[in-house]
Structure 1
Amino acid sequence: MKLRNKIFVYTTGLFILLLIAFAGAIYYLFADHTYERELDRLEVEASNMVTNLTDVDANIPVDDLLRAYVPSNGSIRVLDSDYNMMTSVTSGEQMTLFDVSMPEQRGRFVQLFQDDQTLAIVQEPMIWQDGQVVYVQVIENLSHIEETLNNLQLVLLFVVLIGVVPVVVSGKLLADLILGPIQSLIQTMNDIKESQTFKQIPLKRQSKDELYTMTETFNDMIALLQEHYEKQEQFVSNASHELRTPITVIESYANLVKRRGLERPEVVEEAIEAIASESTRMKDLTEQLLLLAKRDQDWQIRSDEVDLKDLLPTISEHLSQGYHREIKVDANKSFKIQTDEQKLTQLLYILLDNALKYSEAPVDLMLSGEQKPVITIQDYGVGIPESHQSRVFERFYRVDEARNRQTGGSGLGLTLAKEITDALNIDLRLTSIEGQGTTIKLYF
C-alpha cells in the first residue's frame, strides 16, 4: 500500500472510530442517566405509597388503595415473606406484567429487566394489615424511554455518517499535505536522474515544520553536490588546459636532448634550464589549482595574532631580494589582528608579485586605518583597462596574452587572491587607470 493510502486509511479510520466511540459514550451516558432518573422517581413514589398505606384504615380494600398508586403503564403487587403472590393491581394495558419473574432477594433493591420490554422495578418492605412483613413491588414499563433512546440512536448514527464526510475530506487533504513535498522530492530526483542535471525543489513558503526542513535540507545537499561536481569539472578542465603547455615544452626539450644532446652540449644546458623552469611553473600551477578546487568551507583557517606592522616589512624584504626591485613600505602604526598568518602572507605575495611583474617603478606598500587596518598596494605600471577590471578575478583571464607570456602568468593569481580574501573575510577592492598603475586595498 502506498504511503498516501496508508495515511488516508489510518487517519480516516482513527477519526471514524473516535466518532463511533464518542457517539457510543453519549448514548450510554444518556441512557444510564435516564434510567437512573426514572428509578429514582419510581423509588420515591414507592416509598410514599408504603408510608401512606401504613396510615390508612384497615377496613378499606387493599386493591382500591393500590390502584390509586399504580403507574399508568405498570403494576403493583404484594408478596409475602416467602415471595408468594398475595395480591396485585395493574393498569389496563399491562396485564402481562404479572408474569414477570423476580429473584428471591430480600430487602430493598432496584433492578432493570431486559426481555421483550424494559421494566423498572422497585421493592419496598412494609407491615401488612395483619401484622406480617410483606414486600410491595412497583413495576413500570419504560417503553417511552426506549423510544427516546431509539431516536437518539438514529440521531447519533446520522451525526456519525455526516461526520464521516469531513473526516474523509480532511484525511485526503492531510495525505496530500504530507505527501506533497515528498512527491516533489521524488519528481525532482527522477528529473535529476533522467536529465543528468542538478535541480532543486522550489520553496513556496517558509514554515517551521519538518517537511519544509526536509525540502530545505535536500536543496542544500543538491547545492553541495553541484558545487563539488562543478569544482571537480572545473579542476579537470583547468588542469588539462594549463598543464598542456609546460608538458609540451618539457617533452620538446627532452626530445631535443635525445636527438642532439650528445653533439651539442649547449642544447643540454638550455634544455635543463627550460625543463626545470617549466617543472617549477607546473608545480606552482598544480598547487594553485588544488587550492582553488577546494570549497571555501573546506579551507582550514587558523587564528593567529598577527602584527601587520612587523609582517609587511618582512614580506617586502623577501620580494625585494627575489626580484631585485624596490618596495616602499609605509607601516608606522601597529595593528594586531586575529587571522591566518600563512594565508595572509600568501595573499600579499600574490598581490605584490603581480604589482612587480607589471610595473618597472617601485611599488608602494602602505598600512593605514583608524580602528580597522587597511593595506594598500600601489604600482605605477601599465594598469588595467576599465573594460577588463570586472573580469581580472576570473580564472585564466588575461588582459593581454602577449604580456602574460612575457611575465609567465597563469591567470590564476588574482583568482586565488580573491578566494583567500573571501576565506579570511577581507574586502578586496581594485582600481586601475590604464598607463598609470593599479591600486589594491585590503579592508579587514
Structure 2
Amino acid sequence: MKISTKINLLTTAWMIGILIVANIVIFVSFMKFTVSMEEIVLVQRAKDIIDELNTYGTQSNTRDILKDNLTSHTLIRMIRPDGSIEEQVTNDRHLTGLKGKFSKKPQVEQRVIRIRQGEKQVLIVRRPIIINKNVVGTIEISERLLGLELRKDMLIFILTITTILAGLLALLGGRWLANTIMRPIAEMIGTMEKIERSGVPQKIAIPADKKDELQKMAATFNRMIERLQTNMEKQKQFISDASHELKTPLTIIKSYASLLRRRGTSNKEIADEAITAIDSEASRIQKMTDTLLALATLENEVVLEKNVIDLAKLSMEMVRNFTNVYKREITLKVSDPPVIFEADEEKIKQLLIIFLDNALKYSANKIEMEVEKNENSIRIVIKDYGIGIPAHELANIFERFYRVDKARSRSTGGTGLGLSIAQSIVKLHKGEINVTSTEGKGTTVELRFPL
C-alpha cells in the first residue's frame, strides 16, 4: 500500500472516529438535557395539582381538577396508600397499561412502552399528597415524550448526515494532504530513478518559500549529491593523474626494451644504460604502487594501534637519523620533555618522515623542528628556509599527485602523494595541519593533536 493511501485512510478514519465520539457525547447530553427539562415541567405540574386539590378539591370535583391538567398523551392518577387507584384520567389509552405505584417520597422514572408504531419513551413523576404532615396519597403523572422522540430522530438524522459529509470531506482533505506531503518525496524518487538510469547525479529543486522537514530532507539529499559529485570528480582526477604518472615510466621502460630488442646486448654501454633506466623506472612504479596502497589503507582504516609514546624521544631519534643520512643541519627544540601522548607510533614516524623529507628536498639551508605540549594539545612545527610555496598553490598541496615544483618532481623523486598520506594520518589522530609559506623564503608546517 502506498504511503499516500495510508495517510489518506488514517486521517479519514481518525476524523470519523473523532466525529463518532463527539456525536455520542452530543446525543447523550441532548437526551439528558431534554428529559431534565420535561422532568422539571411535570414536577411543577404535580405540585400545582396538589396545591389545587388542597385549596379547592372536594370529592366531587377531584376528577375535574385532574382533567383540567391533562396535556397531550398524558395520564394522571391519585393513588391511595394501599396502592389502589382513587382517581385516574387520561387521553392516551396506551398509558393505562402502566402500573401505578404509591410513594411517600418524590420520584422520577423513565419507562419504555411498546405500541404498534414501536417503542415510546414515557416519563413518570410521583409526588406525595401531605395533609397535616401525613402522606394520604400520591399524585402520579405519566406523559409520553413525543417531542423528545421527534427531536431525537431529527438529531440522529442530522448527526448521521454530518458524519457522512465530514467523512467525505476528510477523505478529500486526506488525499490533498497526502499529495502535498508526498510531492517532494515523489520528486526525490523521480530524481533517484533518473540517477539510477543515467548514472549522472542530479539535485532536487527546492522551493525557497518552504521551511519544513521535507525541505530539510531535500536539502540533505542535495548535499549528499554534491558530495558524490565531488568524490566522482576526485576519482576521475585521481585516475587521470595516476595514469599520467604511470605513463612516463612505462614509456621509458618500453623504449629501452625496444632498444635492447633492436640492438641486443652486444653494445655493453647501451645495454647498461637501458638496464639501469628500466630498473630505475620499475623501482619508481613499485614505489608509487606501494604509496597508493598505503594511502588506500589509511583511508579505509578506522581503528589505530595506539600506544603511549614519548614524542620528544621519537623526534630526537628521527632528527638524528636524518642528520646522519643527509649530512644536513636539523635543529630540534623540545619544551619540557618528555612529551607523552597516545598515538600510533609507526604512523607518527611516517608523518615526521614525510615533512622532514619535503623540507630537505626543497631547502638547502638548515631545518628547524619544535615539539611543544600544553594542557589541551601537542604541537609540532617543522620549518625550512627553502623555495617556499606560492600563495595560490597552498589550497591544492594535499591533493593526490599534486606538485608545486613540477620541473623538479622527477629529480626529487616524489610521487605527489606524501602530503595526502600525511593528511590522512593527521585526520585519523583527530589532529589539524596548518601550512604557511612565503615564496623564496621558506615553509612552516604546524601539526596539532588533541590530548
Structure 1-normalised TM-score?
0.75
Distance 1:300 1:230 in 2: 28
Displacement of 1:317 in angstroms is 2.9
Gaps of 5+ in 2: 104-108, 130-135
Distance 1:57 1:84 in 2: 19
**Is 2:97 the partner of 1:102?**
yes
Q: Which residue of 2 aligns with 1:375?
A: 380
Q: Which residue of 1 aligns with 2:328?
A: 326
* Amino acid across the alignment from 1:395: R
Distance 1:287 1:183 in 2: 47
Gaps of 5+ in 1: 128-132
Candidates 188, 193, 202, aligned match of 1:190: 193
Q: Which residue of 1 aligns with 2:280?
A: 277
Q: Which residue of 2 aligns with 1:7?
A: 7
**Is 2:358 the partner of 1:363?**
no
Asked if the contact 1:325–1:362 (Cα under 8 Å) also holds between the matched residues in 2, the reply is no
* Amino acid across the alignment from 1:252: S
Within 5 Å, which residues of 2 pair with 1:132-151?
138-146=141-149, 148-149=151-152
Within 5 Å, which residues of 2 pair with 1:13-412?
13-39=13-39, 42=42, 59-71=59-71, 74-76=74-76, 88-90=88-90, 95=91, 97-100=92-95, 102=97, 110-113=110-113, 116=117, 118=120, 120-122=122-124, 138-146=141-149, 148-149=151-152, 152=155, 167=170, 171-172=174-175, 174-201=177-204, 218=221, 222=225, 225-226=228-229, 229-230=232-233, 232-260=235-263, 262-265=265-268, 267-293=270-296, 298=301, 300-322=303-325, 324-333=326-335, 334=337, 335-367=339-371, 373-412=378-417
Displacement of 1:11 in angstroms is 0.9
1:299–1:318: structure 2 CA closer, same or farther, 3 Å change rule?
farther
1:432–1:44: structure 2 CA closer, same or farther, 3 Å change rule?
same
Superimposed CA distance per residue, residues 80-118 of structure 1 (whole angstroms, 9 cap, x where no aligned partner): 99x99996434xxxx4x1244626687786413365595
Distance 1:112 1:57 in 2: 32
Structure 2-normalised TM-score?
0.74
SS of 2:280's equivalent in the other structure is: helix
SS of 1:279's equivalent in the other structure is: helix
Asked if the contact 1:79–1:86 (Cα under 8 Å) also holds between the matched residues in 2, the reply is yes
Displacement of 1:346 in angstroms is 1.6
Superposed CA RMSD in Å reads: 4.6
* Amino acid across the alignment from 2:182: L
Q: Which residue of 2 aligns with 1:440?
A: 445
* Amino acid across the alignment from 2:97: M
* Amino acid across the alignment from 1:398: R
Displacement of 1:242 in angstroms is 1.5
* Amino acid across the alignment from 1:279: A
1:261–1:352: structure 2 CA closer, same or farther, 3 Å change rule?
farther
Distance 2:229 2:261 in 1: 46
In percent, how many aligned pairs have the same letter?
Answer: 32
Asked if the contact 2:379–2:448 (Cα under 8 Å) also holds between the matched residues in 1, the reply is yes
**Is 2:431 the partner of 1:428?**
no
1:276–1:365: structure 2 CA closer, same or farther, 3 Å change rule?
farther
Distance 1:56 1:364 in 2: 129
Distance 1:389 1:85 in 2: 116
Displacement of 1:146 in angstroms is 4.2
Asked if the contact 1:123–1:135 (Cα under 8 Å) also holds between the matched residues in 2, the reply is no
Report the count of equivalent residues.
Answer: 429
1:269–1:281: structure 2 CA closer, same or farther, 3 Å change rule?
same
When structure 1 is superposed on structure 2, of 347-356 and 225-234 the one drifting more is: 225-234
SS of 1:237's equivalent in the other structure is: helix
* Amino acid across the alignment from 1:378: K
Displacement of 1:126 in angstroms is 9.7
Displacement of 1:15 in angstroms is 0.8
1:181–1:306: structure 2 CA closer, same or farther, 3 Å change rule?
farther
1:299–1:175: structure 2 CA closer, same or farther, 3 Å change rule?
same
Displacement of 1:431 in angstroms is 1.0
* Amino acid across the alignment from 2:287: D
Displacement of 1:19 in angstroms is 1.7
Displacement of 1:388 in angstroms is 4.0
Distance 1:294 1:229 in 2: 19
* Amino acid across the alignment from 1:427: I
Displacement of 1:352 in angstroms is 1.8
